[in-house]
Structures are given as C-alpha cells and as structure tokens.
Structure 1
Amino acid sequence: MEQPLTAKEQRQILWRLLSYMKNEKRTAILAFFLLITATTLELVGPYLVKVFIDDYLIPRHLALRPLIVIATIYIGTVIIKVVVTYFQLVKFQEIALRVIQQLRIDVFTKMHGLSMRYFDKTPGGSIVSRVTNDTEAIKEMFVEVLASFVQNGVFVCGIFVTMFLLDVKLALYCLFLLPFIWWLIQTYRHYSSIFYKEMRERLSELNAKLNESLQGMAIIQVFRQEERLQKEFAKINDLHYRAGVKNIKLDGLLLRPAINVVYVVSIMVVLSFFGLSALESPVKVGVLYAFINYLERLFEPINQMMMRLSFYQQAIITGSRLFAFLDLTELAPKTKPSSAAISKGKIEFRNVSFSYDGKQDVLKNISFTVQPGETVALVGHTGSGKSSIVNLLMRFYEFDRGDILIDGISICDYSNAELRKNIGLVLQDPFLFYGTIRDNIRMYKQLTDEQIIEAARLVQAHEFIEKLPKQYDHLVVERGAAFSSGQRQLIAFARTLASNPKILVLDEATAHIDTETEEAIQQTLSNMRKGRTTIAIAHRLSTIQDADQILVLHRGEIVERGTHQQLLAQRGLYYSMYILQNGKIDVENCI
C-alpha cells in the first residue's frame, strides 16, 4: 500500500486548491460575510430564551411589551438566518462550480500538452477519471467542507465566548474536551487518507478497464474473453469495495459515535457542576438551559465537521492526484518562438537516433534527403522503424541524437503551428471526430464548401457522401463507426488534402481502400505530389513503384536505398519482399 500523505503535504494541497478561488475574491468575501452573519444569528436564539426564562418567566414578570420585543427579535433572527443561509449556500455553490470548471480546463489543457510517451504507458480510462470523478470530488470540498468548517468553526468559537459570559468556571471545564476531540479528528484524518487514496486508485483502474473493454469489444467477443475480463473487473471492484468497507468501519467508529460519547460526558460534567452548585446557592434555570443548549449546539457542528472530514479527505486525495497530473514533466516537444516559415518542403535527416525507453535504439543513424516535390517511400518489416521516422518528423517525440531539417532549418526552430500547418498526415487507422462529414473535412479551418467538396472529389469520396441522407451534413458517430474502413480513410484523406500542405506524410494511406478505388486515386495522388514533398510508408510495394527513392529499413537502420528498379537489381531485402508479395519476377525485364 502507498504511503499516506503527510500533514505537510495535505496542507500544501489544500492551499493549492484554495488558490483557485483567487479569481472569485468578491464572491468569496460576500459568501463568508453571509456565512458569519448566519452563524451569529444562530447564536442569538438560546441567549434570548435564557433572558426570557431568567428575567421574565422565573420572576413571573410577564410584561406584554418586552415579551413582544423578545419574540419579535427571535422570529426575526430565524427568518433573516434562513434568507442569509440560502444566499450563502448559493454563493458557495457558484464558487465551487467555477473552481471545478477551471480545474477541468487545466487538466484538459495539460492532457493536450503531454508527450506521446505518457499516453503510451497510461490507460485512457485513468485520464478520464482525472477529469470527471476527481474534479467532482473536489467540488464537494468547496460546497460541503469549506462552508461547513468556517461556519462551524465560527459557531464553536461563538459558543465558547457565550459560555464564558454565562459561567467562566464551567466554560473552563468544557475546554478540557477540546484536546480529545482534536485527537479524534487527527486519527480519523490519518487513516481515512489511506483508505480514500486506495479507493480512488481502484476507481481509476475500474475506469481504465471499462475503457479498454469498450475500445476492444469486437476482439473480446471474437476471442470469447468476456469471462476473463469480467473476472478482472470483479477483482478490481472487490478491492474498491474492501477499501470502502474499511472506511465505513472507520466512520462508524470515529465519527458520530465517538463524539456522542464525549457529548454524554460533557452533559454529565455540566449537570454535576450545577448539582453541586445548587447545594450552596440557587441555580439559574435559564443559565442551565443555555449551557445544555449550547453544549448540544457545540457538538452538533463538531459532528458535522467530523462527518465532512470524509469529503475533505476525498478532496485532498483527489487533489494530490490532479496536481500530480498537472505537474507532469513528460511534455510534448517544445519549440522556441520563431517566425521561420516552411517554403519549399525539403526534408533532411542527419544521423538521427531515437529510443522510446531510453535504452534500446529503434532508429540508428538515419540519414536521407527528400528534395522538394520528391516522393520517398519507407518499406521494411514490422518494427523496422518506419513509423518512428514519421513520429519524429511530426514532433510527436523528441529525437535523441542527430537533427531533422526542413528547408535547411531544424524542426526544433519551427513553431508547432508552422509544422502542423504545412505537414499533412494520413494514418493507416483514420480517426474521425463526432460531428458532421463537413466538419471532419474542414477541421474548423477557413474553408469554403466548394473547397471541401473539391477535396472530397479528388479522393473519390464525393460519390459515396452524396448518397448519404444528409450528404456532407451527415452525422459522424464516435470514431466514424457507422462507416466502412475505406470510407473513413477517404474522409481522412480529403481532410488532409483540404488543408493544402507542402509536405505529405502517408502511413499506408490506402491500406483500407479497395483495389478499384485505389487505382482510381493513384493518378490523383500522383498529381497531388507535384510540388509537394511526400513521405509514404508502404507495405504493399506495388503502390510505391513510382517513388523517386525507396528506403528499406531493417532493425532501425537503412540497409538499402534506390528506385524500384535499382533495388530489384540488387536482389537484396527489397527484392525478397517483392518476391513474397508478387511471386517470381523477371528482373531483367523490370530494369
């Protein structure tokens, strides 16, 4: 089990959470003023009853006018307290919602700034849990805990002040109860932080397992893995349940029951004190009533604070998880502010080496040049490093050694906006966003409907889009699940062409397109490549025979390079790959 947060760490997290209120200073001041006002009005009631009993009821001095005044003040304070409490709760809710709104924006923004390395090793469901469950738990701290602690803290202080005004000696006796109450609070905080941390971690694992199951539902059903995943989910759920039971037992022992014991002891002390005092002098019934009433009111806010300690601990634990996420240093590669612009699209890799784990290189001294307008194809077996070259060019990862230049300038010296604007990427597994086809092609750029339609025509997507009920306004469900793989690929291809990039990166872009459609767009792609630098990852060698240069990768190194005919003549790795895909060939006739 992980070590619980220390008291210092909890204070740091609390202050950091409270710092989110800095933009709500006026609302917070008003909310606290209303809170203190409501608390003060709450203290007035028992004192008015004490005055009525000792000054009017016991002496039988029942003058109508003073009694009407006392009754009016009492009723007035109750009504005003209700109104003030309502507005105080509304203001604290507003603060809480704004704080959570900002926290969610910060987490969401941070997520988009993280490097791909982080997403490679972190389940998506765990990140979702940060944005939803964790921030929701923090909201309860601002609504339930902050207001309650301030209100009840002021209330407890006010009660002791009033008790000292009534009887100094008895009030001093009651002060001896505070150390025991403080010990209960600290004990509860220590153990509940352990249990709540475990519960939050298990909840994150549940979300991760759920997300994994949703993403891989087809594979799960095909391989009949339902029972295995149900067992894994049940195991994590059981661990979450056990942590919850431990916390329930702690609540049952240290919250209301323990405080009730202290309350009973305090009542015994007060009654004993008044009983002994009665042997020497008459006891004021109003003072006795007020003391008993204040003691009851003293322990009720303490009970409320103890009960809300659970919300506090949840907020501190989830706050630690959120701030750990916000403080991550695995950021996407940063660029310096630069006005450098890509004009031609010449690409040069100079002795580039790269490792995902910092131990084993997946790229080793990669060097090649792609002149403006040329097409270079990357081929090789799975794991040879083709996709890693694309990842580095797109700056998804930071290369370790060497340099990558575009138009003679290192990509580190271009702004990310400049790189993204001028490099068009089409992946083998296209991703479509929820929305319309029009929005997926436009991607919120300043494109006219004519430009969108023209891009779709170029990739042969216009024909199937026109047949849809709402055509370009047809709704795309999550990840484009209602479309075939080929249709998703065509839409993704149109999206890239519509942005008119200077550099094209095609990661087996026609893998999911049928042979007839592929042949139809090959000429379009050939026309598009004119004036544009193109890097194409290919598994089907028949699709890249017209490339200006083909690089053959093996275990992270370029082992062959040349045109299609030159590589066949070498009878090396490329030749072997081509034979496997196409059968025996006459090399002499190919040259």
Structure 2
Amino acid sequence: MRIFVRLMGYTKLYWRQFLGALLAAGLLAGTNVALPYILQEFMDRYLQNKSATVQILLGFAALYAFGVVLKAVFQFIQNFAFLMGAERGLEDVRRELFRKLHTLGMRYFDQTPAGSIVSRVTNDTMTLGDFWNVLLSVIVGLFSVVSSFVMMWNLNHRIALYVLAFMPLLLFAIWYYSQYSSKVYRHMREKLSELNTKLNESIEGIGIIQQFRQEKRITKEFEATNEDYLATRKAMIRTNSLLLSPIINLLYSLGLVVVLWAFGVMSLDNFVAAGVVYAFTQYVANFFNPMTNMMDSLSFFQDGIVAGSRIFRILDDQEYAPAQNPGADATITKGKIEFRHVSFAYDGKHDILHDISFIANPGETVALVGHTGSGKSSIINVMMRFYEFGTGEILIDDRDIRDYPMPELRQKLGLVLQDSFMFYGDISSNIRLFNQDITDEQVQAAAKFVQADQFIEKLPHQYHARVIEGGSQFSSGERQLLSFARTIVTNPKILVLDEATANIDTETETMIQEGLRRLRKGRTSIAIAHRLSTIKDANLILVLDAGRIIERGTHEELLAKKGRYFDMYELQNGDTAIE
C-alpha cells in the first residue's frame, strides 16, 4: 500500500487527464447498460406482440447505432486521457530517477552493478506504464459492476442477489493471487536485473573476453542466468494461467447457469419476458467481464509494485555525494592546498588513508608516488569530493574545502584521469563537454596548447570529426591528449593529474611534457606519478605505503636518503640514470 500510494503521487500533476478519463469511464458504463435496455424494450414491447413497424425498426436501429458510436467515443476519450496522464507520470519518474543517480556518491556505484542500474531506469520504469493502466481497468470495472448490478436489481431483486453471492469468491481469488504472485514477480525482476548485469558486463569487457578466449565461459554463465529467468517466467505464466481468466470464466459460467435456472423456475408459474432474460444475461456478462480484465491486469499490478519498490530503493538511498556546508560561498583565488591529519575509509570502517598531512603552496607541484594500493588515488578522491573523508581537515586557501560551493570546486579544480572517457559526438563537443559558453577558438587553443592539434588537423573533419562511444577509434595517447585539452579549456586554478601520462607512449609523452610545464605555471598541481622521471621538477614528492606518507622531499633529497623512493627510481632507471 505504501508503494502504491507513493506511485500515485506522480499522477497528481495530471489530475485533469485522469478526471477526464473518470468521467468518460462513467459515461461508458452508462452506455453499456443502456444498450441492452434498448433491445429489451424493443423485444418486449414490439417484437413479442408483432407490433413493430418499419419506422419503429429503423428508430431502434438508429438509437442502438448511436449508442454504439457514443460507446466508441467514450472509450477513446477514456483510454487516451488516462494513458497520456500515465505516460507523463512515467516520464517524471524516469527524470527523477536519473537526477537522483547523479546525486549519489561514488560509493553507491562501487557497490551496485551498472546493469542493475540500467534495468531500473529502463525496464522497471516502463513497467509502471502498465501499472497505471491497471487503475484504468479497475475504475472501468467498478463502474461496470455497480451499474450492471443496479440494472439487475431493477429487473429482479432475488436473482440479482444470487449473482452478488459470487462476489466473495471473486474477492478471495483476487486476494490469493496478489499474495502468491508478488513473490513470483519480485523473483522475476531480480533475475532480469542479473540478466542485464551479465549483458552489460560482457559488452563492456568484449575485448578481454575475446583476447583470453572466454567466449564459452561467458556464454555458459549467460545461459545459466537466462535459464533462471526463464524459470521465473514459467512460474509467472503458470500462476496467471491458473488464477486469472480461468477462475473468472468459471464463475461467470456458474453465474449464468444460476440466472438461467432461476428464470426457468420462475417461468413454470409466471410469464417471463424474453427481453428481460436477454438483458439480464447481458448485465451478468457486464458484471463478470470487467473482473476478467481486472484479474488479467493484476499481473501488471504486481509487476508494477515490485518495479516501484526497486525504483524507490534508489530514490531513498542515502549514499549521497559529499555535501558542502550550508551557505557555502567561498571562492578559490590562490589555489593553496593543505591536508591536516586526514584519514579515510571507503567502507567507513577500515581506513585506507592514515594521518595524511602536507601543504601545496600556490603554483607548486606536489607529486604522489607509491605502489598500487598505497593510497594515491584515494587522496585525489577525497580532495575532489568524490568521497567524504573521515577525520582531519582539507583546506583550500586556508578555508575548509566544504566552505566552497560544488560548482566552484568543479570549475577551479581540473582533473585528468588515467583512463579518458570520450562521449558520442565530435572532438569539439568532447573538449568543451557541450558547454556552449566555450568558443571554437578556445577549443582550438586548448588543443594546440597540449599539441593535440597535430593529429586533429590531420582528420577529414578536424574538430568536427566524429567520436564514437568511448572514442575507440583513437589511440590511448590521442584520447589522453583530448582529455588534457578538455581540462585546460576551463582554465582551472588547481590541476590534478591521476597518472595522466601512464597510457601515453614515450614519444607522445615527450611531446606534451613542455605543455604540462607551461600548464603548471601559476597553478597548484597534484600529480600521481607512474613514471618517476616525469616528476623530477616537483616541489614536493610524497612517497606513500599502505595509506601512510613514509617519505617526503624533493627528487634530489629523496635520492640522497636512499630509501623507498631511491629503490623505486633505481628499479625504473637503473644505476646509470642515478649517477
């Protein structure tokens, strides 16, 4: 009920459409009971005593035809108005869900498979369209049941009560179906989510799958998941086949038998007009048929409730991106960065960073080095506010980082990652990231600054060259150059490089080193170094191990200590380079 009420909340904005559908449904129900009444009057008043004339025949035919046309009009208005309101409500749900996903912190996406998220935004939201259509079936059904019973009551009180006696059986069937089917549908939705996750994983990792000849294993795993999903679908089909239309049709047939038997008994002592029997049987059909539609729709209802619960789990998730302080309005002017005794844990329990402290003065470069898992990227993650740090302080220009509004941080902190993601579009849109305030001249200047113009201008359409999803037609080095240009075009005050040259070949790296040196002038830079030769000119080098700073100093100072940094540099360059 809680999920149902909450889903209905999305229809409030479109109450006019739903009100129009309700009025049309009421008029449709009235038309449905009027049509048998017209034929009853014709049969009992004129056909029975053979008094019908051509004018009477044409008059009743025209009246009945007019009723049929009205019925079609009311059906159109009812369906169109209701479904348009439902579609707009569905659009609002999908929009709110998409917005919510972009407010969640990185921890949520670390823990939730991408395929599961895609399934909720696409499959689950589409199911809500059928869910709201159930309400239309219920409304039409209630109008039809009530109006049909009223007409049966007017014709014969006692026989109408016989028909009403089937109602408890109908309600019990509906209750039992809802209790049993909810489990089936919940399990089916979970399996569909697993199926989407497998599909998403196999598409994203197709290169590795083919390289290591994993096609048979992946196919086998997909088939196993697909078979599990098929089993849940079979359970759903079996449940629907047993508990939906067959039950209603059985009760309708029994009800019709009871009505005909009752009229048959009455005819033994009294005359029963044929029109009354005809009209009564039509009202019995109108009484039970909507029940069939309602029961058929219950499968969509249960599916919608399960889909709604999965959607609301995302909407109610509290794993938000780190929040800034209320009223945050500070502005980054100098670019000084300071970490004071910062600790951090991804799961909130086991610290990855331990008592990290350092200062990067304006215009200085601080390099982070260390083996995989030493905590380099974690420092970047908390400084970029992708994750909330635990204890300690992070200051920019001697103010708490939480005093700066998020747009200010995103504008003044430029991040270049090791893996560059390219969006579908062209080179120009990937550099400006669809920010129309950035001119074509600025885009070209940024590309030239990092020397990406050398390969861009060789392309047929240059800056308007098409970029497919992921930018796979470009080399890793070319994608990284575009990523550099994307960051530089915003003119950030602080530059963050997360092993930004790791995927660039030696020739390309040499080509952009001068550009990076020019880029770092006047900017504070935090760089995770993969190649130690690229950070020789850093003002401060921090050597990390297991989340702790174990050495700090300049390149020459650390080599003189002959500690961990010395060993790492010797391993990369050899004794000759040190000499």
TM-score between the two structures when normalised by the length of structure 1: 0.96
- Could you give the per-residue CA deviations for residues 166-213 of structure 1, whole angstroms, max 9, x where no partner exists? 101111111110000001111111111111111111111111111111
d(CA) in 1 for partners of 2:116 and 2:303? 17
Cross-structure match for 1:447: 438
Letter in 1 for 2:67: T
Cross-structure match for 1:94: 84
Cross-structure match for 2:516: 525
Q: Which moved more, 1:300-309 or 1:391-400?
A: 300-309
Shift of 1:297: 2.2
Q: Please give the root-mean-square deviation of Cα atoms over the aligned residues, in Å.
A: 1.3
Q: Contact 1:350–1:366 (CA<8 Å) still a contact in 2?
A: yes
d(CA) in 1 for partners of 2:219 and 2:53? 76
Shift of 1:71: 2.6
Cross-structure match for 1:308: 297
Letter in 2 for 1:506: L
Q: Which residues of 2 match residues 462-481 of structure 1 at below 5 A?
A: 462-481=453-472
- Could you give the per-residue CA deviations for residues 506-554 of structure 1, whole angstroms, max 9, x where no partner exists? 0111112221221222122112111100000001100001000000000
d(CA) in 2 for partners of 1:518 and 1:249? 63
Shift of 1:152: 1.5
Cross-structure match for 1:295: 284
Q: Which moved more, 1:86-95 or 1:472-481?
A: 86-95
Q: Contact 2:105–2:320 (CA<8 Å) still a contact in 1?
A: yes
Q: Which moved more, 1:289-298 or 1:165-174?
A: 289-298
Cross-structure match for 1:5: none
Cross-structure match for 1:3: none
Cross-structure match for 2:93: 103
In the alignment, structure 1 segments of 5+ residues that lack a partner are 1-10
Q: Which moved more, 1:478-487 or 1:92-101?
A: 92-101
- Residue in structure 1 matching 2:226, options 237, 240, 245: 237
- Residue in structure 1 matching 2:313, options 321, 324, 329: 324
Q: Which residues of 2 match residues 9-408 of structure 1 at below 5 A?
A: 11-142=1-132, 144-335=133-324, 336-408=326-398
Letter in 2 for 1:182: L
- Could you give the per-residue CA deviations for residues 487-513 of structure 1, whole angstroms, max 9, x where no partner exists? 000000000000000000001111122
Shift of 1:271: 1.7
Q: Contact 1:460–1:517 (CA<8 Å) still a contact in 2?
A: no
Residues 586, 211 of structure 1: CA spacing in aligned structure 2 closer, same or farther, 3 A cutoff?
A: closer
Q: Which residues of 2 match residues 531-542 of structure 1 at below 5 A?
A: 531-542=522-533
Q: Are 2:552 and 1:561 equivalent residues in the alignment?
A: yes
Letter in 1 for 2:230: Y
Shift of 1:39: 2.2
Aligned residues: 577
d(CA) in 1 for partners of 2:249 and 2:45? 32
SS at match of 1:405: strand
- Could you give the per-residue CA deviations for residues 442-491 of structure 1, whole angstroms, max 9, x where no partner exists? 11331111111111011110010001111000111001111100000000
d(CA) in 1 for partners of 2:542 and 2:87? 55
- Residue in structure 2 matching 1:489, options 480, 493, 504: 480
Q: Which moved more, 1:11-20 or 1:155-164?
A: 11-20
d(CA) in 1 for partners of 2:497 and 2:364? 14
Shift of 1:323: 1.0
Shift of 1:127: 0.5
d(CA) in 1 for partners of 2:456 and 2:83? 47
d(CA) in 2 for partners of 1:150 and 1:66? 36
Q: Are 2:550 and 1:550 equivalent residues in the alignment?
A: no
d(CA) in 1 for partners of 2:70 and 2:263? 34
- Residue in structure 2 matching 1:513, options 493, 504, 517: 504
d(CA) in 2 for partners of 1:183 and 1:24? 33
TM-score between the two structures when normalised by the length of structure 2: 0.98
Q: Contact 2:477–2:508 (CA<8 Å) still a contact in 1?
A: no
Q: Contact 2:114–2:197 (CA<8 Å) still a contact in 1?
A: yes
SS at match of 2:341: strand
d(CA) in 2 for partners of 1:277 and 1:351? 95
d(CA) in 2 for partners of 1:40 and 1:475? 60
In the alignment, structure 2 segments of 5+ residues that lack a partner are none
d(CA) in 1 for partners of 2:89 and 2:406? 30
Same amino acid, percent of matched pairs: 51
